[in-house]
Structure 1
Amino acid sequence: MTRVKINVSGTHFEFDRTILGIREYDTLTKMCKDAEKEDKPLDFFVDRPSDCFAAVLSYYQTDELHLPASVCPKAFRKELRYWGVAETDLDKCCLYRYYTFFDDYDTHEKFRKETAIQDLRDGLSIPIYTDSKVSRLRRKIWKVIDFKENTVIAKIYLALVFLMVLLCIVTLAFSTVPSFQRKVSKCELLEYLDHSEHDYAEKARIKLGDPDCSGTVYDDIYDLEDEYLYWEEAEDIYADGNWTKSTTNVKLPDLRVRLFVFVVLEMIIAAFFTIDLLLRLSTCPSLLRFFQSVINICDILAIAGFYIHIAVINIQKEHKYHISWIRLINFLQVFRVIRLFRIVRNVRASRVLTFSLRQNGRDMTMLVLLVMIAVTSSASLIYFIEDRDVIESIPVAWYWAMITLTTVGYGDISPKSWAGRLVAAIMAICGVLLLAITLPIFVNNFLTLYQYSCLDETIEEHTKRRIKLKGAIHATGVANKMTGNSANVQNNNKENYDELPGIICTTPCEDSRARNNVRGRNGIETSK
C-alpha cells in the first residue's frame, strides 16, 4: 500500500495513494504521477492554505465536498481551481451558501462599478476647463450648484434650492384655495370685460362709475359689491305699432384671483430658478450632456411655462381672470419637484434604490404580468356575474379589480350578489398573497446592497483617516528632522566661536565671554 505524504504550509497530511485512482485530472493526482514516473518518493511540499486542502482531502476520502465555515467562498474557489476540483462537486448543503455569496458579491461589484463610473463621469466632466482664472471660477461655481462639494457654501445652496422647491409647490397649491383668493377690483373687472368683448362692457363702466385705472388696480378691491354685478335694465321696445317695456337681468361674472402675495412669491421663485439655470448653462462642462438630462429638461419646461404664462396673460388679458389652458402652462412649475432627485442623487439610499430597480426589472415585470392576469380574469368574471347597474362595462370592472387586488377598496363600486362577493373575497386574498410573496424579493436585494454600501462608506472613511494620519506622522517627522538640523547648526556655531580666542562677539553674551577670556590671559580688561 503506497502512502502519500504532503506538507501544506507546515501542516502534514498522509493518505493512501489509492483514493486518487478515479481522479485522473486533479492536481494532486498529476503530482503523484509525475513523481512515480521519475521514481521519486511521494513526499511533497505545497505552499497553499492548509484548511482548504483539508476540505479537498476530505472530499477524496469521503466523496463529499463541504465548504469550511472559516474560509471565504472566494478564497475557497481559488483553491478548488488550483487543486483541479469542480465547484459543482460541492454538496447541496454548502452549494447554496457558495452560490448565494457569489450572487451577492457580483451584484455588489456591479453596484460599485456603476457608482465609480458615475463618479468618474462627474469628475471627468470638471477638468476640461482651461487653466485660467475664469475657468477656475466656472469650475468652482459648477461644483457648488451641481452639488459635487461638501463645503459650507454648497450646503447653504443645497438648503436654499430645497426651500425654493418647497415654496414653489406650496405657492401653487395654496393659490387655488378659495380663502386665499380675493374678488377682482373694478378696474380688473372692466379690463376683463373689455378684452373678452362682453356685451355689457360699456354699461358696466357706467354702472361702476368709470373709475380711474391709471394707478394700481388693488386700491378698490373692497368697493366691488354684489350690486355692481347684478342689476335690472329696462328698455322700451317698439313692436306692432306699440311701445312695450322689456326688463333684462344683467349679470356680470363674479371673478376671483389669487392674493397679491402669491404673485410676488412666484416672481421671486422664477427669478431664483432663472438665475440658477443661467449659471448652470454658463458653467456646465458639456451642453450636450446637460440637455440629455431629464431633470434639466423638466427645469427648463417649468421656467418656460412661467414666462409663457406671463406673456400670454399680458397679451390676452382675459386669461388672467379665469381658469383656462393658459393656467395649465403656469402649473408646469410643478415639474420643479423632480429637481429634488438631483439633490438626493448622491445620497447612498437613492443610488441603492435606483440600482435595485434596474437589477430587479425582470422580477418587477413578472409582478406586473401577474397583476394584469388577475385583473383581466376577475374583471371579466365580475362583469358577467353582476348587473349592468353595478358594473356597466369591462373597463369599469378593470378599475374595480385593480382596487380590490391592491386591497385599497374605495367602496364606490361593490358587488351585490353572493357570487360577486365571493370573487371579491378571493381577489383580496390573492392580492395580499401576491404582494407578500413578490415584494420581499426586491426588499431583500435593496437591504443587502444598502448594507454593502454602508460598509463601503465605512471603509472609505477609515482609508481617508489613515491617509490623514500618515500625512500627519510624515509632517511631524519632517518637522523633527528640521528641528534636529537647526540644533546641530547651533552646536556647530558654538564650537566655532570657542575656537576663536580674543575675539569680541557681536552679541552681548558672546562679547562678555570674549572679554573674560582676554582678561584671564593677560590680566587686563580691554574696553572698546
Structure 2
Amino acid sequence: MEDRIKIDVYGQLYSIPREIIENGPASRLKRMYKTGSSVSKSECIFINRSPESFAAVLRFYQTGELHIPMTSCPGAFIKELEYWEITPDAVSDCCYNRLQSFIDEQDTLRQFKQNSEDRGWSESPPDSYNCMKNIRAKLWEIVDYTKPSLAGKIYFGLTLSMILLSIFTLAYSTDPGFQRAMTNCERLEYMKSSNMEGYEMMKPYLEEMCDTEFLPSNSVNEMSNETVPESFSLQADNETDESDFKVYVFKIMHQTFYVEQTPTFVDEQSSIRPPTFYETVDENETVISGSEIFDDLNGTFTFEFLPMPSLFLDVPIPQMFMELKNVKVPDMKAKLFILIIMESVSNVFFTVDTILRLYSCPRIMFYFMSIINFADGTALIGAYLHLILYYRYPHLRYGNSWIDSLAYIQMLRSLRLFRIVANIRAGKVLAYSARKNVKDLTILILFLIAGMCTFASCFYIVEERTTIESIPDAWYWAIITMTTVGYGDIEPRTKIGRLLACICAVVGVLLLALTVPIFANHFLILYQHVETENVVKRLEKKSTKITRNQNIENTETRKAFFIV
C-alpha cells in the first residue's frame, strides 16, 4: 500500500503520497511533511487555511505548474502563497499577467489613497491648526472645500457661477452684438481726453444731442467770434479702414490782423490782403483761400478788402477770409452697461475670495507656489489695472485699445476650474491619472513627433511647391492628418501624395488606438474604486443613522416603561 500523509484543510481531508511532497520544492508543506512523518497513519495534520488555495498548491507539487483559481482573489492567493512560502514568480505565465495586473492596480490605488489623504499643501495636518483659531480652520474648509459641508457646497456653487460669469462677460464683450454706439457726450469725452483737434468746435453741436448716439448734421450757428462754424457736412473718413471716426467739413470765417511790411506815403492808395494758402478737402478738390472769390462745396462767397490810405503802417489791420476745416469725430463701439456691472461684481467676489483664502490658508508660503493661485492673482491685478486706466484715461474705454489686453488677462480665471474639478471625484481621478501616465503620454507625443517629421518630409518631396510651400507647413498637415482632424486647407494633388496621406491617417489611428487605452485603463480602475468607496460610505452613514434612531427609540421605550 502506498505510503500517504493525511492533511485536513479547513474540514476537507487530503490524502497525499509522501513522495510527491518529498520531490516538491521547499515550502511550509514540506516542513509539515517532515513533522508528520512520525505521525501514525490513522492521524492527520489539521490546517486552518483556504481549501481552494491549498488545492492549487497541491497541483503545483503534482504538475510543477502554479495556477490561480478562477474564483480566488489574486490578493488572497498572494497571501496564501506567503503562508505556504512559495514565491509569486512560480505562477505560470497564463496567470502571471492577471497577478501582475492586480499588483499594479493595488499599487495605483494605494498611491491614489495616499495622494487623496495628503492633498499636497492644500490640506494641512491636524496639528497645524493648533496655532490657528477655529474660525480660520472652518473658513478654510469652506473656501477650499476640503471637507464636504452645506456651507462648502454653497460656496463651491457660488465660486463656479462667478468663474463662468467672468469668462462669459469677457467673451461676449468682444461680440459686436453686445456692444453699443457711443453717445455724443462720450464722443466729447473721448475728444477731450485724447486732445483731439476740433473739440471746442464740435462741443456746442454734440452737447445739444448729448444722450443720443446719432451725430448732428447740416446745423447752422451764427456765433460772432474768431472762429465761426457757419455750416458743416458729414463725410466718411478716408484715412482709416475701421471707420472709427467720422469727418465733419466746416466752413470757417477767420478774422486775422495783418501788418504792412513796406512803408508807403499818403498820396498812394493800397489794399491789405491776407496771404494765400491752400487746404485739401479730398483728392480731387482744393479750396484756395485768400482771394476775393471763394469756391467751396456749397457755392461762391465774395469778400471785399477795405481800401486803406497810403501811410506808414505799424498797427494791425483786420481782414476776413474763409477756409474749410476737417474735424474728426470718434464713432466707436462701447460695452453695454450690464456687462460692466457683471464684470465689476465678479471682480468684487474674487477680491473677497482672495482675502479669505490668504487669511485662512494654513500654509501661506505654499499658497503662492501654486500655478492656479498665481494665475488667479495675475488676473486680479490685471483687472484692477484695467479699472484704474479705464477711469484715468476715458478715451481708452472705446474701440480696441491696448488696455483690453489687461482685461483679457482675466481669462486666466478659467484655470480656477481645475481647482473646482479637483474637488470632484471624477476630477481627482482624472488629474491623478494624468500625473500617473506622464511617461505613457510622453511616449505618445514622441511617436506623434516622429511620424509627423517622417510623413511631412515625404509629403514635401512628392508634392509641388504650389501645394506645400515649406516643411513646417507639411508638419502642420501631418499632425492634422495623424490626429484625424483634417481641416482640408492643405490637400495632396499627386497620386503618391494621396497614398501617403492615407498611410499617414491609418498610422495615426493605430497610434492613438494603442496608447490612449493605457491612460483610459488607469482612469476606469481608479474611478470604479472611488465610486465603490463612495457607495460604502453612504451605506455606512445610512446604517449609522438607522442605529442611532433605533437607540433613541429604545431609550424612549425604556423611559416610558419606567414612567408607567
Bigger proportion of residues as strand = 2
Which of 438, 442, 447 is the equivalent residue of 1:370?
A: 447
Other-structure match for 1:313: 390
Other-structure match for 1:248: 281
Deviation at 1:357?
A: 0.9
Which of 160, 163, 179 is the equivalent residue of 2:161?
A: 163
Deviation at 1:448?
A: 2.0
Q: Does 1:288 align with 2:288?
A: no
Stretch deviating more after TM superposition (390-399 or 103-112): 103-112
Other-structure match for 1:269: 346
Mapped partners of 1:264, 1:333: distance in 2:
15
* Equivalent position SS for 2:129: coil
Indicate if the aligned counterparts of 2:456 and 2:475 stay in contact, CA closer than 8 A.
yes
Mapped partners of 1:74, 1:368: distance in 2:
35
Deviation at 1:333?
A: 1.4
Question: For each residue in 1:71-114, what CA deviation from the matched residue of structure 2 results, as whole angstroms up to 9, or x when unmatched?
Answer: 22212112122222232222223222222222222222222222
* Equivalent position SS for 1:209: helix
Other-structure match for 2:107: 106
Stretch deviating more after TM superposition (147-156 or 336-345): 147-156
Other-structure match for 1:69: 70
TM-score, normalised relative to structure 1: 0.81
Other-structure match for 1:232: 249
Deviation at 1:484?
A: 5.0
Mapped partners of 1:481, 1:164: distance in 2:
53
Q: Does 1:221 align with 2:213?
A: yes
2:200 corresponds to which letter in structure 1?
R
* Equivalent position SS for 1:324: coil
* Equivalent position SS for 1:12: strand
Q: 1:152 to 1:83 in 2, by over 3 A?
A: closer
Stretch deviating more after TM superposition (92-101 or 50-59): 92-101
Which of 372, 381, 396 is the equivalent residue of 1:304?
A: 381
Mapped partners of 1:23, 1:224: distance in 2:
107
2:80 corresponds to which letter in structure 1?
E
Which of 384, 402, 406 is the equivalent residue of 1:329?
A: 406
2:276 corresponds to which letter in structure 1?
W
1:292 corresponds to which letter in structure 2?
M
Deviation at 1:377?
A: 1.0
Indicate if the aligned counterparts of 2:27 and 2:86 stay in contact, CA closer than 8 A.
yes
Question: For each residue in 1:319-362, what CA deviation from the matched residue of structure 2 results, as whole angstroms up to 9, or x when unmatched?
Answer: 22242332111111112222222223221111111111112212
Mapped partners of 1:122, 1:479: distance in 2:
42
Q: Does 1:400 align with 2:487?
A: no
Q: 1:366 to 1:451 in 2, by over 3 A?
A: same
Mapped partners of 2:11, 2:179: distance in 1:
88
Other-structure match for 1:209: 204
2:204 corresponds to which letter in structure 1?
G
Could you tell me the percent identity over the aligned residues?
Answer: 36
Q: Does 1:343 align with 2:420?
A: yes
Mapped partners of 1:119, 1:313: distance in 2:
39
Other-structure match for 1:59: 60
Question: For each residue in 1:370-417, what CA deviation from the matched residue of structure 2 results, as whole angstroms up to 9, or x when unmatched?
Answer: 100010111111122222232111111111111111111111122222
Stretch deviating more after TM superposition (369-378 or 309-318): 309-318
Indicate if the aligned counterparts of 2:4 and 2:15 stay in contact, CA closer than 8 A.
yes
Deviation at 1:234?
A: 6.8
Mapped partners of 1:355, 1:117: distance in 2:
13
2:483 corresponds to which letter in structure 1?
T
Indicate if the aligned counterparts of 2:456 and 2:478 stay in contact, CA closer than 8 A.
yes
Deviation at 1:369?
A: 0.7
Indicate if the aligned counterparts of 1:401 and 1:427 stay in contact, CA closer than 8 A.
yes
Mapped partners of 1:379, 1:119: distance in 2:
43
Question: For each residue in 1:283-324, what CA deviation from the matched residue of structure 2 results, as whole angstroms up to 9, or x when unmatched?
Answer: 333322322332222222222111101112333433222423
1:446 corresponds to which letter in structure 2?
F
Mapped partners of 1:471, 1:306: distance in 2:
52
Q: How does 1:383-394 map to 2 (within 5 A)?
A: 383-394=460-471
* Equivalent position SS for 2:536: helix
TM-score, normalised relative to structure 2: 0.76
Mapped partners of 2:122, 2:380: distance in 1:
27
Indicate if the aligned counterparts of 2:185 and 2:211 stay in contact, CA closer than 8 A.
no
Bigger proportion of residues as helix = 1
Deviation at 1:485?
A: 5.2
Q: 1:394 to 1:180 in 2, by over 3 A?
A: same
Q: 1:49 to 1:289 in 2, by over 3 A?
A: same
Deviation at 1:476?
A: 4.1
* Equivalent position SS for 2:486: coil
Unaligned runs of at least 5 residues, structure 2: 218-232, 236-245, 259-273, 283-325
Unaligned runs of at least 5 residues, structure 1: 488-528
* Equivalent position SS for 2:414: helix
Other-structure match for 1:17: 18
Mapped partners of 1:288, 1:474: distance in 2:
48
2:249 corresponds to which letter in structure 1?
E
Q: 1:82 to 1:126 in 2, by over 3 A?
A: closer
Mapped partners of 1:224, 1:20: distance in 2:
110
Deviation at 1:128?
A: 1.0
Q: 1:404 to 1:70 in 2, by over 3 A?
A: closer
Q: 1:389 to 1:355 in 2, by over 3 A?
A: same
More RCO (CA 8 Å, sep 6+):
2
Mapped partners of 1:477, 1:463: distance in 2:
21
Q: 1:482 to 1:24 in 2, by over 3 A?
A: same
Aligned length: 474
Mapped partners of 1:484, 1:100: distance in 2:
60
* Equivalent position SS for 2:378: helix
Other-structure match for 2:267: none
